[in-house]
Amino acid sequence: MRLYRLDGIVPPMGSEHPPAERSEAQTRLLDAAESVVAREGVGNLTLEAVAREAGVSKGGLLYHYPSKSALVTAVVARLAQRCQGDQFAALAEEGQAPGAFTRSFLTTFGRLLSETEKPLHTALLAAAGTDPQYLEPIRALAREWQARLESDGIDPAVATIVRLAIDGLCIGNLLGLPMPGDELRERVIQKLRDMTNKE
């Protein structure tokens, strides 16, 4: 039996498929999916559109992601991994002092999304209305974050207030709700940061 991959025919079942090749192919497909979602919205995300964007056959796409649901979930999972990577980088800057994880959370998610990031985040939020399971990778990561916040060496209520405030700023921005101006937003972020400094 022969299957198709990005560059033609894949080996028969049971033969080796190098992880590096799969990772490169998946990255290419996920990049294409993100481009389609950001430009046209989740409603216009089809396997055909992603294959066309990536310059591959639909069979090559199906080899890695057999359905639209699998593809969207993979896009969200990669977004969650990026968030986690940003969080780790910010935590490394903070060190080991009490409240360090909370402050790194504030640094990572307290910033405004760029013009290139916002369409993707908005589209994925809309996708959750179609199938709430799409956000499961984010929920899983959020559960880990909440556990870390509650054991960050400061009052768990303070750490949770910081998280909920940042959640509100992020979601409000994505939904187009009235938001504080730049100066007031910075003051809010600084107030939250000040709250994490253990007396």
Rounded mean pLDDT, 163-185: 90
pLDDT band at 163 (very low <50, low <70, confident <90, very high): very high
pLDDT higher for 115 or 6?
Answer: 115
Q: What one-character-per-residue DSSP string does 96-136 give?
A: TSTTHHHHHHHHHHSSPPPTTTHHHHHHHHHHHHH-GGGGH
pLDDT in tens, 97-110: 999 999 999 999 88
Q: For position 9, what pLDDT does the model report? A: 31
Domain end call among 66, 89, 106: 66
Distance CA 189, CA 110 (A): 7
pLDDT band at 176 (very low <50, low <70, confident <90, very high): confident
Rounded mean pLDDT, 158-175: 92
Distance CA 167, CA 186 (A): 16
Q: Based on the fold, state whether residues 94 and 185 are members of the same structural domain.
A: yes
Q: For position 40, what pLDDT does the model report? A: 83
Q: For position 18, what pLDDT does the model report? A: 39
pLDDT band at 3 (very low <50, low <70, confident <90, very high): very low
pLDDT in tens, 117-135: 777 777 777 777 777 788 8
The per-residue b/e assignment along 97-112, b for 16 or more CB within 10 angstroms, e otherwise, is eebbbbbbbbbbbbee
Q: Based on the fold, state whether residues 50 and 12 are members of the same structural domain.
A: yes
Q: Based on the fold, state whether residues 34 and 81 are members of the same structural domain.
A: no
Q: For position 198, what pLDDT does the model report? A: 65
Q: Based on the fold, state whether residues 54 and 148 are members of the same structural domain.
A: no
Range in 20-34, 66-80, 177-191 the model is least confident about: 20-34
Angle at which helix 156-175 crosses helix 182-195, to 10 degrees, equals: 160
Q: For position 161, what pLDDT does the model report? A: 96
Domain end call among 50, 66, 82: 66
Rounded mean pLDDT, 32-53: 87
Report the domain count for the chain: 2
Q: Based on the fold, state whether residues 51 and 89 are members of the same structural domain.
A: no
Distance CA 29, CA 36 (A): 11
Domain of residue 21 covers 3-66
Mean predicted lDDT score pLDDT of the chain = 82
Q: For position 160, what pLDDT does the model report? A: 97
pLDDT band at 25 (very low <50, low <70, confident <90, very high): confident
pLDDT band at 78 (very low <50, low <70, confident <90, very high): confident
Domain end call among 51, 66, 81: 66
CATH of the domain at 28: 1.10.10.60
